[in-house]
């Protein structure tokens, strides 16, 4: 049993609000209405369109992968750490690693297209920054908590 600390609660709340909720919204848009302008405005930028079929397919496949794989791990890990279970920290570390890994890749590959619409503050915080920062912090924090 690893009782949650104030830091645990802060990371859980931040992760659920600024990573889970925003990603869930965007990925549900992508899965339910992949060709709608609302989806493209949120994911790419206002008035933008998919660059090509590969760009669309990557976004569509990523949405399904997030909804079926990553988001359940993030949610289960968050519940597990709040309940003080070691498995929660393991799932949280995995979720943090996934978050940082894919967001760093997308930070570079999408910059040319997404950055002009959102600007530097939103791009390096809410859009790609928070998943990177949260993911790295949670992975490191989970390892510290698991190692005592």
- What are 66-111's pLDDT values in tens digits? 999 999 999 999 999 999 999 999 999 999 999 999 999 988 888 8
Average pLDDT over residues 43-69: 90
Task: Give the number of other Cβ atoms within 10 Å of residue 127's Cβ.
Answer: 22
Contacts of 27 (CB under 8 A, 6+ apart): 62, 63, 64, 66, 67, 71
Burial class (CB in 10 A: 0-12, 13-18, 19+), 2: middle
Would you put residue 84 in left (φ > 0), alpha (ψ -120 to 50) or beta?
A: left
Range scoring the smallest mean pLDDT among 5-9, 97-101, 116-120, 140-144:
116-120
- Residue 27: which H helix or E strand, with range? helix 22-32
Give the pLDDT of residue 15.
93
Provide the token pair at 5. Answer: 């600390």
**pLDDT tens column, 10-42:** 999 999 999 999 999 999 999 999 999 999 988
């Amino acid at each position: 049993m690893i009782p949650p600390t104030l830091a645990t609660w802060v990371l859980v709340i931040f992760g659920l609000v600024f990573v889970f909720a925003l990603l869930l919204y965007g990925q549900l848009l992508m899965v339910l209405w992949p060709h709608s302008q609302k989806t493209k405005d949120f994911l790419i930028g206002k008035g933008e369109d998919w660059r090509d079929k590969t760009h669309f397919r990557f976004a569509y496949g990523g949405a399904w992968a997030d909804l079926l794989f990553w988001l359940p791990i993030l949610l289960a890990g968050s519940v597990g750490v709040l309940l003080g279970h070691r498995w929660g920290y393991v799932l949280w570390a995995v979720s943090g690693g996934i978050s940082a890994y894919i967001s760093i890749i997308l930070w570079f590959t999408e910059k040319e297209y997404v950055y002009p619409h959102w600007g530097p503050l939103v791009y390096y915080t809410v859009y790609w920054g928070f998943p990177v920062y949260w993911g790295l912090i949670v992975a490191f924090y989970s390892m510290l908590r698991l190692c005592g």
